[in-house]
């Protein structure tokens, strides 16, 4: 029996709940550190980046939980989500790098560009493309995308909340 999007409802509910909780906690953390973050444009950019990373699994969950959605439509929505997410992260990342100044080493510059965010975006877009092409097993690419987004977002939030911007 072929797999359907409805089979992923429980995954979507868990991913959406976890992501929604993390978005809420991020808002609390930002509120508690509002003055510090407001004084440092790099921290503001990092906060936006972290919010975007946490919103990705939440949006995927909403799409997964949409009732009776044809797989092709779901796949196209996921591709669009991946592209919008990539463009948004690229814009925020460019601003963040411009504000932070020049990174010291080649490795630091490389890691700044190739992040878990890029992997997440690639996995989401590839999963959407596979489902659009009729391969519902492409949904399995969303699992590591969500795990990487949640883990990377937590790490990013931790670093930006404890880091010294000066």
Domain positions in the chain are 5-162
CA–CA distances in Å: residue 115 to residues 30, 33, 152: 22, 25, 9
Q: What's the pLDDT at 60?
A: 97
What's residue 129's pLDDT? 98
Instruction: Count other Cβ atoms within 10 Å, centred on residue 11.
Output: 17
Do residues 150 and 22 make contact, with C-beta atoms less than 8 angstroms apart? yes
> Are 127 and 137 a contacting pair, CB within 8 Å?
no
What's the pTM? 0.86
pLDDT at 107: 52
Distance linking the first and last C-alpha atoms of the chain? 58
Beta carbons within 10 angstroms of residue 71's beta carbon: 19
b vs e for 96-106, b when ≥16 Cβ sit within 10 Å of the residue's Cβ? bbeeeeeeeee
pLDDT at position 95 is 76
CB 129 within 8 A of CB 138: yes
What is the model's pLDDT at position 166? 59
pLDDT in tens, the chain (166 residues): 567 898 999 999 999 999 999 999 999 999 998 898 888 888 888 889 899 999 999 999 999 999 999 999 999 999 999 999 999 988 887 777 676 665 555 554 555 555 678 889 999 999 999 999 999 999 999 999 999 999 988 988 887 777 766 5
């Amino acid at each position: 029996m072929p797999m359907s999007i409805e089979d992923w409802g429980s995954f979507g509910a868990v991913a959406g709940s976890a992501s929604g909780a993390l978005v809420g906690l991020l808002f609390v953390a930002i509120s508690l550190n509002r003055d510090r973050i407001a004084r440092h444009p790099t921290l503001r950019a990092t906060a936006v980046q972290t919010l975007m990373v946490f919103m990705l699994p939440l949006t995927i969950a909403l799409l997964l939980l949409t009732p009776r959605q044809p797989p092709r439509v779901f796949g196209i929505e996921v591709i669009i989500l991946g592209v919008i997410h990539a463009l948004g992260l690229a814009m925020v990342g460019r601003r963040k790098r411009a504000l932070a100044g020049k990174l010291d080493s080649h490795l630091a510059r490389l890691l700044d560009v190739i992040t878990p965010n890029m992997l997440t975006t690639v996995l989401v877009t590839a999963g959407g493309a596979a489902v659009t092409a009729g391969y519902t097993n492409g949904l399995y690419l969303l699992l590591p995308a969500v795990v990487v987004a949640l883990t990377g977002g937590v790490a990013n939030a931790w670093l930006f909340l404890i880091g010294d911007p000066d």
